[in-house]
A and B are shown apart, each in its own frame.
Chain A
Amino acid sequence: MDDDMPFDIKQTYLKFLEEDPQLTMPVAAIQSLVALLADAQPKTSAELIEVLQEASQTLKDSVPNSISLSAGSDLFLRFVVRNIHDYSDWEACKRNLVENGRTFAERAKESRSLIARLGLPFVRDNDIILVHGRSRAVHQLLELAASKHVRFQVYVTEARVCAEGQIAAAAFRKLGIPTCMIPDSSVGYVIPKVHKVFLGAEGVAESGGVINQIGSSQVVMLAHQFKKPVFVLAESHKFVRLFPLSSDDLTTETPYTFTTTETEEFDPANGPQIDFTPHKYITALITDLGVLTPSGVSEELIKIWFG
């Protein structure tokens, strides 16, 4: 790092994300906070907490979609606060954290492969699976299933606005999985033929509901209507202490607006990027802590915040 420049948490965060495309936002947030710890050298524990709180707030404010990120930074702050009181030798613990900064990313990847292992029995021969958007956890699971010679087919939605469906479909085809790309508007058309729906998550709310790429909630509600099981694959560090009741409760910089005049050309990207899927539509969450029902999420959160 450039010694003359003052430490910039946002730049550090973006750099981590850029360097490793496999890195998720919460882990990048944790790593940037660790990098800050190494740089800031706080003298007292109170100062340390203050520095971290300030930095995580700055980080949350400076990124447009901060829910996923805040899951990581909140988890890290909670970890620090708990361990300051638990360990007498905080210095050693801090040193350890800084030295092990890199391993967090490794462990996050490990938890993704654990999810794939736990999720493997959910993928069966002759299954037709619907996947919305691109998710690293879903990709890893299907990759594992394909490598075990499970014969299944995948519908991938275009997942417009983020439009990552194309990338996901290409990746599945490369793994030799028969893949069919469909526009988001055809989900209702294919859903009777689908056996199960797999989703990733940006964040998992306290209720067990899921914050994910926009379009997820409509896909899931259609699946629910046709009684198709919906499985969400998410690492436990994405559990976040939010309790949204609808997609409306998630802040967005670009809300939809009503106009009577033709203002500018219609741009679908100019709208919310994420939506919220209520827990009642979700069959199970496949996480590194095991296969949980949505109510299990609040239990895990309670364990670390009030346990």
Chain B
Amino acid sequence: MSAKGDINVQIAAFTAQLQRREISGSRAVALATAHLISRFVSSRRWPTADDLINQVKRLGRELEKAQPHELACGNIIRRILKSIRTVDETVELVEAVDDRERRSSMFGILSVPGSGDKSTDHMRSRDLKAAVIEDIQVLIEEIGNEEPLQRVGTEMINDNEVILTPCPRSVTLLDFFLKVAQKRSFTVLVTECYPNGVEDAKMFAERLTKAGIRTEILPDATVNAVMSKVSKVIISPRTVLANGGVIASSGMALPCLAAKNFNKPVLVFAGSYKLSLLYPFDVERLIEVGNSGKVIDFADADLMDKLEVTNPLCDYLGPELLDIIITTDGGHPPNFMYRIVLDNYSTQDQIL
């Protein structure tokens, strides 16, 4: 009984952290979500896989409501839901194969209906629990391990290259540059990302210089001017969408458009937890708007009174602006992302 109370406290604490943004950054949120659900699965009682799925979904709804713009949380929950479904299905494989082929192949309309009565002989919940928790552990390891991503990326960096990374704040990208610097020498141009990411960009540049990488900070407006000497643009977005487009910090769209104009490749680095099954039906809804006091100081009351100031925190970049998306399972062209989405998530979980 105490374990159950304990998990509720943990959920409440995590929800509060999300709401107050005490925990931010996709990787941190993804890891925290996975750990929380792992504890949730082991402490709750659920007779069948369906019950578990419903309970996890309910938890997912709560977490999504706490921070609707942090998609990593929902991504992890959907990954786990999919793994619960897969684990559960392996038992009913014989019965399910017919039904699954029917829905997932062009033979759909032809296949003959199966024997009908579906077996209710589910895997015993104890075995299911062990298997699901093991899957979550694998997922946690995958989130923490960016070695495959770095390996693929390293091959794409040559000696003496000039790389532009607009508005960097991603740990993935920082780790990647530090790793590559052991093998190659290159220059990194960092845009300052006014007004939302100035501190982050400075910190990023500082970390790179400390590691002995030649680094320059540029004002955002100069990207078009320097693009001719840049050899590639590397970005790490917040979220990769199902159509291969991405949501990234505001200030990233401009360098990518300039890169397109100069025919320079744009590389996207994203851990698989950033992969979302959302399709950008309504781009405006995906874009978060932040503190307009960062654009014009609230102390400047005269101006603030007369102007309407908005400060969007993200940009949407369509798949046509990007050349390759490098995730933990390798590099993919943007128009292939829909397939990885179909592999990673179950369409039934689109809405939690």
A residues lining the B interface (CB < 8 Å): 27, 30, 75-76, 79, 93, 96-97, 100, 103-104, 107-108, 111, 121-122, 124, 235-237, 239, 284, 288-296, 299-301, 303-304
Contacts and interface: CB of A to CB of B under 8 A. Distances in A.
Interface string B320-352: 000000000000000110110010000100000
B108 interface: yes
A295 B106 contact: no
Interface residues of B, number: 21
A257 B100 CA distance: 50
Contacts of A237: 106, 108-109
A295 B336 contact: yes
B109 A290 contact: no
Contacts of A107: 108-109
A257 to B, nearest CB: 38
Interface in B280-324: 281-282
Interface string B110-147: 10110000000000000000000000000000000000
Contact of B242 (A104, A291, A299): A291
B244 interface: yes
A301 B106 contact: yes
Given A293-B244, A293-B335, A304 B109 contact: no
B2 interface: no
Given A291-B279, A293-B338, 17 more contacts: A30-B110, A79-B110, A93-B112, A104-B110, A107-B109, A121-B281, A124-B281, A236-B105, A236-B106, A237-B106, A237-B108, A237-B109, A289-B106, A291-B242, A294-B335, A296-B338, A304-B107
Contact of A289 (B104, B244, B335): B104
A65 B341 CA distance: 37
Contact of A76 (B110, B279, B338): B110
Residue of B108, B244, B281, B336 contacting most chain A CB atoms (<10 Å):
B108
B215 interface: no
A236 B243 CA distance: 19
19 contacts: A79-B107, A97-B112, A103-B113, A104-B109, A107-B108, A107-B109, A124-B281, A124-B282, A236-B105, A237-B108, A291-B242, A291-B338, A292-B338, A293-B243, A293-B338, A294-B335, A295-B335, A299-B339, A304-B106
B352 to A, nearest CB: 15
Interface in B199-249: 242-244
Given A121-B281, A295-B336, A290 B342 contact: yes
Interface of B: 104-110, 112-113, 242-244, 279, 281-282, 335-336, 338-339, 342, 347
B38 to A, nearest CB: 29
A89 to B, nearest CB: 12
A75 B335 CA distance: 26
A301 B338 CA distance: 17
Contacts of A75: 106-107, 110
A92 B18 CA distance: 58
B339 A304 contact: no
A19 B106 CA distance: 25
Contacts of B338: 290-293, 296
A122 B281 contact: yes
